Amino acid sequence: MTTTPMGYGSMHRKEDARFLRGRGNYVDDIALPGMLHGAVLRSPFAHARIVSVDTSAAEAHPKVRAVITGETLAGLDLAWMPTLSHDVQAVLATDKVRFQGQEVAFVVAEDRYSARDALELIDVDYEALPPVVDARRALEPDAPVIRDDVEGRTDNHIFDWETGDKQATDDVFARADVVAVQDMLYPRVHPAPMETCGAVADMDPVTGKLTVYTTTQAPHAHRTIYALVAGLPEHKIRVVSPDIGGGFGNKVGIYPGYVCAVVGSIVTGKPVKWVEDRSENLMSTSFARDYHMRGELASTKDGKLLGIRVKVLADHGAFNGTAQPTKFPAGFFGVFTGSYDIEAAHCEVTGVYTNKAPGGVAYACSFRITEAVYLVERMMDVLAFDLDLDPAELRMKNLLRPEQFPYESKTGWEYDSGDYPRALRKALELVHYDELRAEQAKRREAGGENLLGIGVSFFTEAVGAGPRKHMDILGLGMADGAELRVHPTGKAVLRLSCQTQGQGHETTFAQIVAEELGISPDDIDVVHGDTDQTPFGLGTYGSRSTPVSGAATAVVARRVRDRAKIVASAMLEVSPDDLEWEKGRWFVKGDPEAGKSIQDIAMAAHSSLELPEGVEGHLDASCVYNPPNLTYPFGAYVCVVDVDAGTGQVRVRDFVAVDDCGVRINPMIVEGQVHGGLADGVGMALMQVMAFDEDGNHLGGSFMDYLLPTSMECPSWRLGETVTPSPHHPIGAKGVGESATVGSPAAVVNAVLDALKPYGVRHADMPLTPAAVWSALHGSPLRT
C-alpha cells in the first residue's frame, strides 16, 4: 500500500493528508468577515398551539441583531418550505408546534453565546394539546389531528402504497403447508454523524448573490430548492458543501436552521452562521426507520418458500420529509422479497403523521432497504424456527440461483447479476459454521448460563438511482454529470455532482480516471461540493455515487481517451484505426515502440499540431449519466454471539461479512465502508432506539441516552468477498456504502435469538439490550 496504483487497488486516501493533520475545513471552520451567529428556539412541547410570541426582551439584548419568528417569515412567504416528499414543513412555527424540538424562533447575535442567551428572553405562550406518539394511535378515529394546517384534513393518514400481486399471493398462501407470521418493529434510530448540521449563509447585498456553505449531501438539489423557494435564479445562488464529518443520510434534507441562516443574512446584510448542537441534531433532524411491520411467509413443509406478504405502518413524524424518489413513498422497500426465489409477493404500506421529528430515510438505509432486508431475514429465521430447520440451510435452499440472473423480482425489480450460493458458502466456511453448530450443541447439552448464538443474514440491495424516467426527487431526474479536463502537462481535474461525506471520493474517483487513462491518481484533482464549480446532479445518498457518478467518470475518461487517440494519430501520422491502447498510451499496432503517452498527447492537444477536420483541440469531455438500471450488491453475513442468560448481556464474539459489490475500485476503502456499517448494525441491534415518553418528550438527547457502538462492543470484523460485476455499469462496479448497515442488524438479532431458541423465544424487537434479552428469556410481563 506504499505505492500509488495507476488505477484500482488499495491506496491510502488522498484526503487523509489533511484530515490526519487536523486541516479539514468543515462548515464550523468557516469564518467570514463580520459574520454573525444564529441560534434556534425550540419547542418544549410535542404538540401545542402557539398563543403568542414576545421577542421584545431578546431584541433589547445589546448583542442581538435580529429576532426572526414564524410571523416574520410569513410576511416573506417563507414560514413553510417544501419537503422532499411533496409535503410542506414549518420553517418557524406559526400556528402550532408539532414535535418536541421544533423550530419556533431564530436569534441572530454578534456571537454564539449571546444568541443562545437571548433565546431565553423570548416568551412563548403555548397551549398544550394532546400528543400522538404511537403510529397505531395516529390512525384511531378520535386521535388529535396533527396537520390541521391543511384545510379539510381530518386524520393523520399520509399515504397508502402497495406493490406486488395480491391475488397471486393469496393463492399461494392458500395452498401452503406452513405460514409463519411475525410482527416486528424496526425502531426509530438516528444516523448521528460526528459533525452536526449547520450553515453559513452570506447574501451579498451588492451583487445579490447568495452563498451558502452547508452540510449537504446534495449541493445541486439544495440550490434548486433554494432557487424555487426564494425566487432567485440559480446563478445567484452558490451552495458549497465543504468537508463533511459524516452524513449517513442526515444531510440529505433542508433544515429550517439553514433557511433561517439565509433569512438572517438577508435581514442583517451580514454572513450568518448556524451550527446545531448534539441535542438539537438528535431531537430535530432526520431520523431513520420507525417501521411497524407484519411479515408472513408461506412455505412447503420442507421449507421451500412460496410467498411473502407484508403490512407496514410507517411513522413519518410531524411532516412528511422523507427523501426518496417521488414514485416510491416507501422508498425501495419494494425489494422485500430479498434474495429468494419466491412465487408471489404482496405488500401494503400506510404512512402516518405523529408528533415526532420528521425524516425517515437516513442512516445508511438505501431508501428503506434496511427495513426490507431486516424483515425478510428475520422472517426466514422465524420460519426456520417453526420448521425446526437450520437457518443457513433454509436460505441455501431458497436463494436465487446464478442462472436466474438478470432476475425480475415479483415486485418488478430487475436484479442485474449475482451468485448468491457462492457468497453464502464462503461466509459459512469462513466462520466455520459446522464447528460452531457442534459447539452450540455441546453447550446446550451441558446447560448453564453461557449461551452461544449463530445468526445468518443474506441481503440484496438496489442502489444507484435512477434511471431518471422512473426516479426523481421533487421533479429533478436522478442522473448525474461529470466533467474531465486534462491540462497540457497531463494532470487532470475531474468535476463531479456527488458529494463525499467521508467515503473517500477524492481518491476513488481519481482511481477510476487513473484506470481508464493511466494518469496517476495523485495527478488527478477531484472537485466536488461547490455548485459554481461542478456539473448538475442529484448528489450522494442511496450509495449512488459509484453506480452513477462513478459511471459518469468512466464515460468521460473514455471520451477523453477517444479524443486522445485522434490527437495521437495526428502526432504519429497514422490512421486512428492503426492505434492500440495500453494503460497510459496509444501505440501503433505491431510497433509498440511507436507510441505516445497520454501526457505527450495532452501537450500536443494544446499545441499548434494540425488536427483532422472537425476535431477540437484540448483534451476534455463531459457527460450526464442516466443509469439504465440500479446495481444490486449483495452479501452473506454471519454473526456469533455469547449471551449471558443470567444478565442478558450479549457479546459479539465473531462476525464474518462476505460482500459482493462487483468490481472494487479501492478494496481498502470498501472494507472501511463495510467495517463502519457492521458497527452500525451492532449499534442498532443491541443498543439504539430514539425513545419518547407518552407526552412526546424525546428521551435520546445525548450520547449518554442514545448509544453509539465503540470498539468495546465490536469484534475484529472478518471480511470476505466475491466479485460479480454489474453487467450494465461501465466498470462493473456496484455501490457498497450502505451494504453492511443494511445487512448486519438481522445477523446480530438472529444470532441473539438463536442463542435463546432452546427457551422457546421466537422473536424480540431491537434493540436487544441486556434488559430486553433478560425479559425475553424470563417472559417478563415488563416486556411488550
Write out the residues near ligand CUN by the rule CB under 6 A. 217, 247-249, 252, 361-366, 541-542, 738
Task: Tell which residue, 774, 766, 682, has the closest CA to residue 293.
Answer: 766
* Smallest distance from ligand CUN to CB 541, Å: 3
Which residues between 249 and 288 bind ligand MCN (CB under 6 A)?
A: 249
Cα separation of the two ends of the chain? 51
Which residues between 174 and 213 bind ligand MCN (CB under 6 A)?
A: 193
* Smallest distance from ligand MCN to CB 730, Å: 12
In the complex with ligand CUN, which residue's Cβ is closer, 246 or 715?
246
In the complex with ligand MCN, which residue's Cβ is closer, 249 or 595?
249
* Smallest distance from ligand MCN to CB 82, Å: 22
* Smallest distance from ligand MCN to CB 364, Å: 4
Q: Is 723 exposed, middle or buried (0-12, 13-18, 19+ CB in 10 A)?
A: middle
Which residues between 339 and 378 bind ligand MCN (CB under 6 A)?
A: 364
Q: What are phi and psi of 216, to 5 degrees?
A: -135, 140
**What DSSP letter does each residue of 137-188 carry, written as one string?**
HHTSTTSPPS-TTSTT--S-EEEEEEEE-HHHHHHHHHT-SEEEEEEEEEEE
In the complex with ligand CUN, which residue's Cβ is closer, 541 or 774?
541
Residues 6+ apart with CB under 8 A from 243: 15, 19, 24, 25, 26
Residue 252: contacted member of ligand MCN, ligand CUN, none (CB under 5 to 8 Å, by partner type): ligand CUN
Residue 684's H or E segment, with its range, is: helix 667-686
If one asks whether residue 625 binds ligand MCN (CB under 6 A), the answer comes out as no
Among 89, 320, 324, 543, binds ligand MCN (CB under 6 A): 543
Residues 6+ apart with CB under 8 A from 651: 641, 642, 643, 644
If one asks whether residue 453 binds ligand MCN (CB under 6 A), the answer comes out as no
Residue 361: contacted member of ligand CUN, ligand MCN, none (CB under 5 to 8 Å, by partner type): ligand CUN
In the complex with ligand CUN, which residue's Cβ is closer, 249 or 696?
249
Q: Let me know how long the chain is.
A: 784
* Smallest distance from ligand CUN to CB 458, Å: 20
Among 91, 478, 670, 773, binds ligand MCN (CB under 6 A): 670
Among 733, 740, 751, 773, binds ligand MCN (CB under 6 A): 733
Q: At what angle do helices 667-686 and 739-756 cross, to 10 degrees?
A: 40
If one asks whether residue 55 binds ligand MCN (CB under 6 A), the answer comes out as no
Q: Is 658 exposed, middle or buried (0-12, 13-18, 19+ CB in 10 A)?
A: buried
If one asks whether residue 248 binds ligand MCN (CB under 6 A), the answer comes out as yes
Q: What are phi and psi of 511, to 5 degrees?
A: -65, -35
* Smallest distance from ligand MCN to CB 170, Å: 36
If one asks whether residue 490 binds ligand MCN (CB under 6 A), the answer comes out as no
If one asks whether residue 772 binds ligand MCN (CB under 6 A), the answer comes out as no
CB count, 10 Å around CB of 149?
16
If one asks whether residue 544 binds ligand MCN (CB under 6 A), the answer comes out as yes
CA distance 319 to 714: 35
Task: Tell which residue, 636, 187, 185, 178, has the closest CA to residue 391.
Answer: 636
Mask for 639-668, x = binds ligand MCN (CB under 6 A): ----------------------xxxxxx--
In the complex with ligand CUN, which residue's Cβ is closer, 4 or 503?
503
CA distance 272 to 201: 5
Residue nearest to ligand CUN (CB): 249
CA distance 119 to 38: 10
Residue 661: contacted member of ligand CUN, ligand MCN, none (CB under 5 to 8 Å, by partner type): ligand MCN
CB count, 10 Å around CB of 435?
9
* Smallest distance from ligand MCN to CB 246, Å: 4
- For the four alpha carbons of 588, 590, 592 and 593, in that order, the dihedral sign comes to negative
In the complex with ligand CUN, which residue's Cβ is closer, 274 or 541?
541
* Smallest distance from ligand CUN to CB 252, Å: 6
Q: Is 622 exposed, middle or buried (0-12, 13-18, 19+ CB in 10 A)?
A: middle
Which spans of this chain sit near ligand MCN (rule: CB under 6 A)?
A: 193, 246-249, 364, 501-505, 508, 540-546, 661-666, 669-670, 673, 676, 733-738
